[in-house]
Amino acid sequence: MSTQRPRRAVVTGIGVIAPNGLRADAYWKSVREGLGVLDRITREGCEHLPLRVAGEVRAFDAADLIEERFLVQTDRFSHFAMAATVLALDDAGLGAVDPEEAYDIGVVTAAGSGGGEFGQRELQKLWGQGSRFVGPYQSIAWFYAASTGQISIRGGFKGPCGVVASDEAGGLDAIAHAARGVRRGTAAMVVGAAEAPLAPYSMVCQLAYPELSTVEDPDRAYRPFTKGACGFVPAEGGAMLVVEDERRARDRGAAVRAVVAGHAATFTGASQWERSREGLAHAIRGALAEADCAPEEIDVVFADALGVPAADRAEALAIADALGAHGTRVPVTAPKTGIGRAYCGAPLLDTAAAVLAMEHGQIPPTPNVFDICHDLDVVTSNARPAELRTALILSRGLMGSNAALVVRRGGDLAR
Amino acid sequence: MTRRVAVTGIGVVAPGGTGAKAFWDLLAAGRTATRGITLFDPEGLRSRIAAECDFDPLEHGLDPELSRHADRYIQFAVVAAGEAVRDSGFDVGQENPWRVGVCLGSAVGGTTRLEHDYVLVSEGGRRWDVDHRTADPQLHLAFSPSTLASVVAAQFGAQGPVQTVSTGCTSGLDAVGYAFHTIEEGRADVCITGASDSPISPITMACFDAIKATSPNNDDPEHASRPFDANRNGFVMGEGAAVLVLEEYEHARARGAHIYCEIGGYATYGNAYHMTGLTSEGLEMSRAIDGTLDQARLDPTLIDYVNAHGSGTRQNDRHETAAVKQSLGEHAYKTPMSSIKSMVGHSLGAIGAIEVVACVLALKHQAVPPTANYETPDPECDLDYVPRTARPRKLRNVLSVGSGFGGFQSAVLLTGPGGRTR
């Protein structure tokens, strides 16, 4: 132990359950091609609502990956999270946990909407039939901690377990939480977020968000950074990652996919989009400082891209404020315009896309977005080949949080 | 150089009284605040009792807008945070707001409001395709759990890291733990932390009925919450909030703040066993205690008091007793361990923070709060549970532990003046 270099947290596994692809490879193919999958909502009971377009996860059968006994006691949001975890662990080459090692692996998820569909069903039983009809799983399916608990139990992970029930930016906070856990001594963390906000009552709640797009044409409903910006489109799904101590990853011969290098979070008030300029810029500077990264080193920005004109302007200005002249030159992308915003799951999907983009040397495009009206180099139409060593991922929440995350390509690390 | 973390302010909204003074008076007297439910008609439920807060938001200076529209758990949190911030003498106007964070826990967030409005839009539970036209235009605030930290941050001008934590019944302890790490690691100098829940609602009572977790002692609500007693039969639902101002130690000293105590350590582990079940050995909770003491480099024999999770379910109290014995060894038998849930009930995510504030007050008053209603020993629970009346005692190092659905096991160490060994 002669070298006292701080422990580095690296990404060794990616599991994705997204509207445009189940598994990381299918997701990347759709993202790279700029495939837009926003469509009419088909979830039962939602047809009459004024929100017509969303990013739905279709052709997903949780039973392909998760045992029935876990499925009956959980909501769709936990089905996504458990399935994405299976894929991430498989991707990382982590098999069944050795009981000796159980305390070395923790779990942290971000959750912004909970088990809404399960909860609505039980509310219907309670109020339609009576309290004796409420089932035994309501107490463990509806609450925000359900996914972390079930992932821990199913995997045998006894390490630090956590849940940040924050707004969208909480997805990046969860990744940072996991990286800190690794730096503090936990060998590996299963981390991520998946949401299922498309149940009827959950959607009624979301209708109150002034930022929501109610445009009915899927190709025009979510177009940030353009004159046609009219709000955001919600989505379901998300991603789980394995974030691991670099030394342990190397010792077991795992591929080091990326380094979680820096993060910072700020708060500037719910729907205070003009003020988010300062908050986001401050978060970017903080993340760069923690990553020991100069603005010029950022090769690509995965934007928050809310699609609200004031918010888009604030983000463009924040990038310029924090990155200086480089801010107008650095390529910016927002693959989420093709799939919608899966609340806390959205920045996880962006982080997964950033790692895959660095590996493939390609910046994915921003579907449905043309004619940029801000001073940003937004990648549109087709993927752009580029040497990508460092990516910046941005996220803002509807309740006022701003967060920035810097990730670096794994292959560039000195041993 | 390790940054130390001080507690410089506390605030509480608890059953039996609002404010730290009323709260401590209740605990010191061993009085119980459990009663028949009045917040809604509990007819038909198995457990019809709870520890409710007699809470008038306007009386506590909450602004009229929040008094009218904000969810009950948000109101609790804002009032408790106001008391804590005033108590600390901290003025955000004199600080760099980017260095002030908020980290608040809640297990069930806005679900009480969500249920209330669900009934309206579903024609009393008859329709799956709910009718949006009658929905409250503020419903998104109940839907999003981050409303809690967001409202408090906006009220008190925090612009640093703002988080809502939701790890079920350890949410309060974990929020304090995350805030402790936030300051220790240098991401903020001040953090407003704690937790709030208002879960006394038909759906939450019904879901615990379904698994028989709550006490059916409806005929004797004052004596229904009986942690560690042989005749315990489940927890009694509670509600409330507690908030602490945590501050980097030198920062607090530089502005001449009163320092109650320090946060000495925090750890959490999962039991990876069962969403609601607990083993009788308690090894994972013991691990959380060990991890907390390791951080503080504190020998377990220097623990002076354990504030127990002590929910009053058969399995919890056995599990927890075993865990404390595993970590403290023979010293466990000499260490008082009590559960304030006997008096204020179990307010799910909030209770962890309320219990941390009880520990701060125990250090301040140099007295151990009792376990009310403890009468009949259980052979499986054979520690000193401080029956019925508070006990004066020299307190330096105090541990608060918690355990929750999902398998979460957490512990926080508080060290008063003269605490620790180093």
How would DSSP label each residue in A198-215? -SHHHHHHHTT-TTB---
Examine residue A198 and state whether it is found in any structural domain, yes or no.
yes
Please report the pLDDT score of residue B419 as a whole number.
67
Record the tokens describing residue B108, joined without a space.
């069930």
- The answer on B70 and B51 residing in a single domain is yes
- CB-based contact, A102 to chain B, within 8 Å: yes
- The answer on A74 and A153 residing in a single domain is yes
How much is the mean pLDDT over chain A? 96
- CB-based contact, A183 to chain B, within 8 Å: no
Last residue of a domain, one of B234, B254, B274: B254
- The answer on B215 and B287 residing in a single domain is no
Examine residue B212 and state whether it is found in any structural domain, yes or no.
yes
CA dist., res. B69 & res. B78, Å (int): 13
Probe site for chain A from B47, B126, B129, B143 (most A CB atoms < 10 A) = B143
- The answer on B210 and B71 residing in a single domain is yes
- The answer on A138 and A96 residing in a single domain is yes
Active site residue B309: yes
- The answer on A276 and A166 residing in a single domain is no
Spatial CA neighbour of A309 closest among A195, A370, A228: A228
Please report the pLDDT score of residue A1 as a whole number.
42
**Each residue of A247-276: b (16+ CB within 10 Å) or e?**
ebbbeeebbbbbbbbbbbbbbbbbebbebb
pTM of the model: 0.98
Asked if the Cβ–Cβ distance from B149 to A166 is below 8 Å, we say: yes
CA dist., res. A171 & res. A109, Å (int): 8
How much is the mean pLDDT over chain B? 96
Chain B residue numbers touching A322 (CB-CB < 8 A): none
Q: Answer whether residue B420 shows pLDDT above 80.
A: no
- Looking at the structure of chain B, the number of domains it has is 2
Instruction: State the alpha helices, DSSP H only, in B230-313.
Output: 249-254, 283-296
Geometric angle at alpha carbon B399, from B215 and B198, rounded to 5°: 40
Last residue of a domain, one of A251, A271, A301: A251
Q: So what's the ipTM on this one?
A: 0.97
Chain A residue numbers touching B408 (CB-CB < 8 A): 145, 149, 161
Examine residue A3 and state whether it is found in any structural domain, yes or no.
no
* pLDDT less than 70: residues of chain A: 1-4, 413-415
Examine residue B422 and state whether it is found in any structural domain, yes or no.
no
Chain B residue numbers touching A167 (CB-CB < 8 A): 144, 146, 150
Give the model confidence (pLDDT) of B190-210 as tens digits.
Answer: 999 999 999 999 999 999 999
Which backbone phi and psi does B208 adopt, to 5 degrees? -80, -30
Which backbone phi and psi does B46 adopt, to 5 degrees? -75, -45
- The answer on B341 and B211 residing in a single domain is no
Asked if the Cβ–Cβ distance from A49 to B132 is below 8 Å, we say: yes
- The answer on B367 and B229 residing in a single domain is no
Examine residue A33 and state whether it is found in any structural domain, yes or no.
yes
- The answer on B280 and B250 residing in a single domain is no
Q: Answer whether residue B25 shows pLDDT above 70.
A: yes
Examine residue B54 and state whether it is found in any structural domain, yes or no.
yes
B 87-146 near A (Cβ less than 8 A): 98, 102, 106-109, 111, 114-115, 118-119, 121-122, 124-126, 128-130, 132, 135-146
Q: Least CA distance to A202: which residue of chain B?
A: B143
Residue B422 — very low, low, confident or very high, per pLDDT cuts 50/70/90?
very low
- CB-based contact, A207 to chain B, within 8 Å: yes
- The single-letter code of the amino acid at B163 is Q
Task: Determine the distance in angstroms separating the CA of A370 from the nearest CA of chain B, rounded to an integer.
Answer: 31
- The answer on A85 and A17 residing in a single domain is yes
- The answer on B279 and B238 residing in a single domain is no
CA dist., res. A155 & res. A254, Å (int): 19
- The answer on B356 and B249 residing in a single domain is no
- The answer on A289 and A224 residing in a single domain is no
Q: Least CA distance to A142: which residue of chain B?
A: B108
Q: Answer whether residue B418 shows pLDDT above 80.
A: no
Last residue of a domain, one of B219, B254, B289: B254
Q: DSSP string covering A274-302, please?
A: HHHHHHHHHHHHHHHHHHT--GGG--EEE
Of the partner residues A107, A150, A269, the one whose CB lies closest to the CB of residue B275: A150
Looking up residue A81, the CATH number of its domain turns out to be 3.40.47.10
B 259-278 near A (Cβ less than 8 A): 267-276
Last residue of a domain, one of B205, B228, B254: B254
Examine residue B362 and state whether it is found in any structural domain, yes or no.
yes
CA dist., res. B51 & res. B137, Å (int): 31
> Do B86 and B9 contact (CB within 8 A), yes or no?
yes
Which backbone phi and psi does A126 adopt, to 5 degrees? -60, -50
- The answer on A220 and A157 residing in a single domain is yes
- The answer on A378 and A283 residing in a single domain is yes
Last residue of a domain, one of A251, A270, A296: A251
Examine residue A318 and state whether it is found in any structural domain, yes or no.
yes
Please report the pLDDT score of residue B1 as a whole number.
59
- The answer on A272 and A144 residing in a single domain is no
- The answer on B238 and B345 residing in a single domain is no
Spatial CA neighbour of B348 closest among B230, B242, B273: B242
More confident residue, A98 or B171: B171
Chain A residue numbers touching B283 (CB-CB < 8 A): none
Examine residue B287 and state whether it is found in any structural domain, yes or no.
yes
- The answer on B269 and B233 residing in a single domain is no
- The answer on A128 and A84 residing in a single domain is yes
Please report the pLDDT score of residue A322 as a whole number.
98
Examine residue A295 and state whether it is found in any structural domain, yes or no.
yes
Counting residues of chain B whose pLDDT is more than 90, the rounded percentage is 95
Chain A residue numbers touching B205 (CB-CB < 8 A): 131
CA distances from B11 to B86, B91, B243 (A): 9, 16, 5
Last residue of a domain, one of A205, A233, A251: A251
CA dist., res. A72 & res. A67, Å (int): 9
Q: Answer whether residue B245 shows pLDDT above 70.
A: yes
Task: Determine the distance in angstroms separating the CA of A140 from the nearest CA of chain B, rounded to an integer.
Answer: 7
Residue B112: domain span = 5-254
Strand order in the sheet with B49-51: B34-36, B49-51, B237-238
Chain A residue numbers touching B102 (CB-CB < 8 A): 267
- The answer on A231 and A135 residing in a single domain is yes
Active site residue B191: no
- The answer on A218 and A159 residing in a single domain is yes
Looking up residue B371, the CATH number of its domain turns out to be 3.40.47.10
Residue A335: domain span = 259-409
> Do A240 and A15 contact (CB within 8 A), yes or no?
yes
Record the tokens describing residue A361, joined without a space.
């040397």
Catalytic one among B53, B60, B103, B169?
B169
Active site residue B331: no
CA B248 to chain centre: 22
CA distances from B400 to A50, B89, B370 (A): 49, 26, 14
Task: Determine the distance in angstroms separating the CA of B40 from the nearest CA of chain A, rounded to an integer.
Answer: 14
Examine residue B420 and state whether it is found in any structural domain, yes or no.
no
Examine residue B421 and state whether it is found in any structural domain, yes or no.
no
- CB-based contact, B69 to chain A, within 8 Å: no
Please report the pLDDT score of residue B116 as a whole number.
96
- Looking at the structure of chain A, the number of domains it has is 2
- The answer on A245 and A306 residing in a single domain is no
Examine residue A268 and state whether it is found in any structural domain, yes or no.
yes
Examine residue B213 and state whether it is found in any structural domain, yes or no.
yes
Give the model confidence (pLDDT) of B112-170 as tens digits.
Answer: 999 999 999 999 999 999 999 999 999 999 999 999 999 999 999 999 999 999 999 99
CB pairs below 8 Å between A and B: how many? 270
- The answer on B338 and B194 residing in a single domain is no
- The answer on B360 and B238 residing in a single domain is no
Please report the pLDDT score of residue A91 as a whole number.
97
Q: Least CA distance to A138: which residue of chain B?
A: B207
- CB-based contact, A170 to chain B, within 8 Å: yes
